[in-house]
Structure formats: C-alpha cells, structure tokens
A and B are shown apart, each in its own frame.
Chain A
Amino acid sequence: DAGITQSPRYKITETGRQVTLMCHQTWSHSYMFWYRQDLGHGLRLIYYSAAADITDKGEVPDGYVVSRSKTENFPLTLESATRSQTSVYFCASGGLGWPINIQYFGAGTRLSVL
C-alpha cells in the first residue's frame, strides 16, 4: 500500500524497557520526521532525517534514538522508557525546502509507559 505506515498502533510497556516504534513510507520522500503529541503541548518534533544516515535533533530529543539505514524506514527507539514518554507518536515524511515542504503523516502510535 502506498503511503506512510506506523507500527504498532498501540503499545504498553514498563519503565526501563526498550521500545522501538516503526515507520515506513513508500513515496521515496527524502525527509522523515518523528513527533510526539501531548495535551497542552501540541506537536513537538523529536528527530528528523534528511536522507539515509543523516539525522538531526528536534525540540525534544532526549531519551530517544533514531536511525535511518534505508530511505523508506525511520525507526524511533526509546532506550529506557519513562512514564513521561507516554504519548502519541507520529511519523511524517515529505520535502524540506522551498517550495515543497508539505508533510504526510502516519496514523500514529499510542504508547503507554507504566
């Protein structure tokens, strides 16, 4: 299927565990992004990637690790999950740079850290 898919859609884990959220896009967009969405904070950028093997920190990168070995995949890892990382995580892909910087979002992963 064309588009951007995230997995899993829902995840419950315990504090201290490692969790990896997956993101896959079929458009061959060069840029990919990870956001978290929390009530009262809106959408906050965690990390983004301009291409394979190129990643940059966003607004809230602490506690997260990303990698991008292939253009179509951009996994997000919580190395040691904390309760404050309970959130809804969105992956997006798109262009960056005038005039094309529209972003296309996945359906999200709802993560609960107990």
Chain B
Amino acid sequence: SQQGEEDPQALSIQEGENATMNCSYKTSINNLQWYRQNSGRGLVHLILIRSNEREKHSGRLRVTLDTSKKSSSLLITASRAADTASYFCATGSISGNTPLVFGKGTRLSVIA
C-alpha cells in the first residue's frame, strides 16, 4: 500500500516558473526521498532528507520536511523543459530495515 501521496497528480507550468510538489505520508519515517522518472526510463534519485532535518537544497531543488504534519514538499526553481518528468516521493521506515515505499507521483510538464 502507498505510504506517500503526492499532490497534485499533474502540474503544468511555463519555463522559468517554479514548480512545487507535495507529499504526505502516514507513518513515522527516518528519511524521505524524491525521485524523478523521465518518460520511458527508470527512476533516478534526486535528494534525501532525514527526519531530523527541516530543509535541504541541491542545485535548483529545495526539499522541506514537516514531520509534525507528515508532509514534504519539493520545489524546483527556474524550471526548464528538461525538468518535464514524473516525480515520486519515497519514505524510509523508522526501523530502516524495510523497503522504501513510493507514492504514485506527480507528473510535471514544463512548457517552453
């Protein structure tokens, strides 16, 4: 069963705009990760945030985590057409000894 649920399911923006995707989860976690999937390809890891961290940056990516609300957001700044992809959150359990649980993803379209 899905642990993470992304919102929105689909997002369409213009090149240069910022894109924000949200992920909500149900049970306590020790880390949350974001992955990107280009059409017809496998998932690629983007960023990991630990449960004791509130914000993390990597290039144009900014991830926040609010464990009290059991939610995370992924912000992509100054979007490019190449950012068009599906984005998935995945949660790691507290024990760390069970597989990641992936959400259903947000499909981002960046229009040039």
Contact = CB atoms under 8 A, between A and B. Distances in A.
Interface of A: 31, 33, 35, 40-43, 45, 48, 58-59, 90, 92, 96-99, 101-108
Given A97-B97, A99-B50, A106-B42, A41 B104 contact: yes
Given A42-B2, A42-B105, A101-B92, A108 B41 contact: yes
Given A42-B2, A101-B31, A96 B96 contact: yes
Sorted from nearest, which 5 A-B pairs have the closest CB atoms?
A105-B42, A42-B104, A98-B96, A43-B102, A97-B96
Interface string B41-56: 1111100101000000
A107 B97 contact: no
Chain B CB within 10 A, most for which of A41, A97, A107: A97
Chain B CB within 10 A, most for which of A33, A59, A96, A107: A96
B1 interface: yes
B88 A58 contact: no
Interface of B: 1-2, 30-31, 33, 40-45, 48, 50, 88, 90, 92, 96-105
Contacts of A45: 99, 101
A33 B33 CA distance: 17
Contacts of A102: 33, 45, 48
21 contacts: A42-B103, A42-B105, A43-B43, A45-B101, A48-B99, A92-B42, A96-B96, A96-B97, A96-B98, A98-B92, A98-B96, A99-B31, A99-B50, A99-B96, A101-B92, A101-B96, A102-B45, A102-B48, A103-B45, A107-B41, A108-B42
